[in-house]
Amino acid sequence: MAKTTPPVKLNEKVELTISKIRQNGMGLAFADDKKQYPVYLADAMLGETVLAEIIQVDKLSAYGRIVSWVEKNPERIDANRAYLLEAGTAPLVNWAYPAQKAWKQSLVKENFAASGLDVQVAEAVTMDEDVPSYYRNKTVVPVKWQGGKLLSGFYQRGTHELVPMEDYFVNNKRLDEVIVIVRNILEKLQISAYDPDTEKGAIRYIMVRRGYYSKQLMVVLVSNETTLPKRDELVDEIVAALPDLTSLVLNKAPKKDYVQLSADNETLYGKSQIEDSLLGKRFLIGPNSFYQVNPVMTEKLYQTAADLANLKESDLVVDAYAGIGTIGMSVADRVKQVIGVEVVPGAVADAQKNLALNGIKNATYILKDAPEQFVEWEAKGVRPDVVFVDPPRRGLTPKLIEKTALMGPDRVVYVSCNPLTAARDCALFKEAGYEIKGPVVPVDQFPQTAHIETVTVLKKKR
């Protein structure tokens, strides 16, 4: 076999033109005339010509760092936040917001076209601000002793080097303040932090959640160890420093278990959950609860999904991947009945509490894997009018799509956080007898990042 020599070398500086923006927001340029050897670049925009230094090389591709711009995209801005690019937390921060919206719309169109679906894609539903920022109501931040100081921030791509950060730009500002306060207390008390090189130390992350309407505050110390040194002193210091603290929790999540948060929570102070509102409904939120992180846009997302579903008072609605019940409960007063299914026990327990909290009588939540439950419902003759699905980034399984089609709902409303898997799954729904009705609607839950949510309505063919 002939030896393949990459067209670029490590540390070489080359002039490149950005021909595509990838799904993760990274720029792609080709280093060879045949356009077979890609170079990936952060902080790039379509059509730009850049001078790049090659920082990583293998046989198939390379990574570069932009040294200077020969020709800039006219919609480039300077947000003066290079640290966000270094950590990869806000890859579009130097894009004017209209350019972010336009790219996300085109990305959705491209993903659906790649799955053989010619669809209309609406303009993205967005926040009202010209520069949407400081919107997240939850953050999980690693801490590490580095250079004799306890730092909080994010790890640099592909390394164990922590990029210090105190202004995350996308978090509610109170969250950023709380991270610094708690970190400083941990440093003052000389509490150990998990070191990925030695695989030893206690605190892995500080997690903060805050109710958008309630202003209730939860702090979670995610620990590699089951006991905290100086525990009582630590709790007293944090409680004294945070007058708005509602809940302080220790989450025991050893790194060897390869989970960010485990289900093993111990309440150190206050309540085990906080409360917030969404579209007029109240929800209890714990450390592990799946609850959308941009409250303003979550209301717009669920309102969009409900409106596009064309709900009727006579409808039986199935809420799959129900989580703590947010979608189902938000539409319960518009339909006859909601039945939700969720595989995570804690989420179902929370959903049942939330039903009681809101006095909702026409909804129930079942603990089961959705495809299995769909088989049971189909066998019992359950025929929903509408099925809402809101899966994780990996999307739906072919089995769930098959079982959904067997129940024969008139409409399937697919809420997705990944247009790539949404497009793939919608193509499978088409094979199962469903067609996309109306435009796919992007909803920008995560400005400054490469993520985009979509709402797609599929209607049963007659």
Tell whether the model's pLDDT for residue 148 goes beyond 90.
yes
Catalytic residue annotation:
417
For 259-279, what is the mean pLDDT? Answer: 94
For 37-46, what is the mean pLDDT? Answer: 97
Q: How confident is the model at residue 160 (pLDDT cuts 50, 70, 90)?
A: confident
In total, the chain counts a number of residues equal to 462
103: Cβ–Cβ under 8 A, 6 or more apart, which residues?
21, 46, 92, 95
Query: 460, 462, 416: which is closest to 440 by C-alpha?
Result: 416
In the 3-class helix/strand/coil scheme, how is the chain assigned residue by residue?
CCCCCCCCCCCCEEEEEEEEECCCCCEEEECCCCCCCEEEECCCCCCCEEEEEEEEECCCCEEEEEEEEEECCCCECCCCCHHHHHHCCCCCCCECHHHHHHHHHHHHHHHHHHCCCCCCECCCECCCCCCCCCCECEEEEEEEEECCEEEEEEECCCCCCEEECCCCCCECHHHHHHHHHHHHHHHHCCCCECECCCCECCEEEEEEEECCCCCCEEEEEEECCCCCCCHHHHHHHHHHHCCCEEEEEEEECCHHHCCCCCCCEEEEEECCCEEEEECCEEEEECCCCCCCCCHHHHHHHHHHHHHHCCCCCCCEEEEECCCCCHHHHHHHHHCCEEEEEECCHHHHHHHHHHHHHHCCCCEEEEECCHHHHHHHHHHCCCCCCEEEECCCCCCCCHHHHHHHHHHCCCEEEEEECCHHHHHHHHHHHHHCCEEECCCEEEECCCCCCCCCEEEEEEEECC
Whether the CB-CB separation of 137 and 210 falls below 8 Å is answered with yes
- Which region among 122-131, 163-172, 253-262, 359-368 has the lowest average model confidence (pLDDT)? 253-262
Q: How confident is the model at residue 4 (pLDDT cuts 50, 70, 90)?
A: confident
Residue 3: predicted pLDDT: 57
pLDDT tens per residue across span 82-101:
989 988 889 999 999 999 99
For 174-195, what is the mean pLDDT? Answer: 97
Distance of CA 63 to the CA centre of its chain: 25
pTM reported for the whole predicted model: 0.92
Give, to the nearest 10 degrees, the angle between helix 173-188 and helix 231-241.
Answer: 140
For 257-276, what is the mean pLDDT? Answer: 93
Instruction: Tell me how far apart the alpha carbons of residues 327 and 443 are, in angstroms, rounded to a whole number.
Output: 15
Tell whether the model's pLDDT for residue 103 goes beyond 70.
yes
pLDDT tens per residue across span 219-244:
999 999 999 989 999 999 999 999 99
Task: Tell me the percentage of the chain whose pLDDT exceeds 90.
Answer: 87
Residue 2: predicted pLDDT: 47
Q: Calculate the average pLDDT of the chain.
A: 94
Q: How confident is the model at residue 173 (pLDDT cuts 50, 70, 90)?
A: very high
Residue 1: predicted pLDDT: 38
pLDDT tens per residue across span 307-334:
999 999 999 999 998 989 999 999 999 9
Residue 152 burial (10 A CB sphere; 0-12, 13-18, 19+): buried
- Cβ count near 300 (within 10 Å): 20
- Which region among 60-64, 92-96, 162-166, 327-331 has the lowest average model confidence (pLDDT)? 162-166
For 179-206, what is the mean pLDDT? Answer: 95
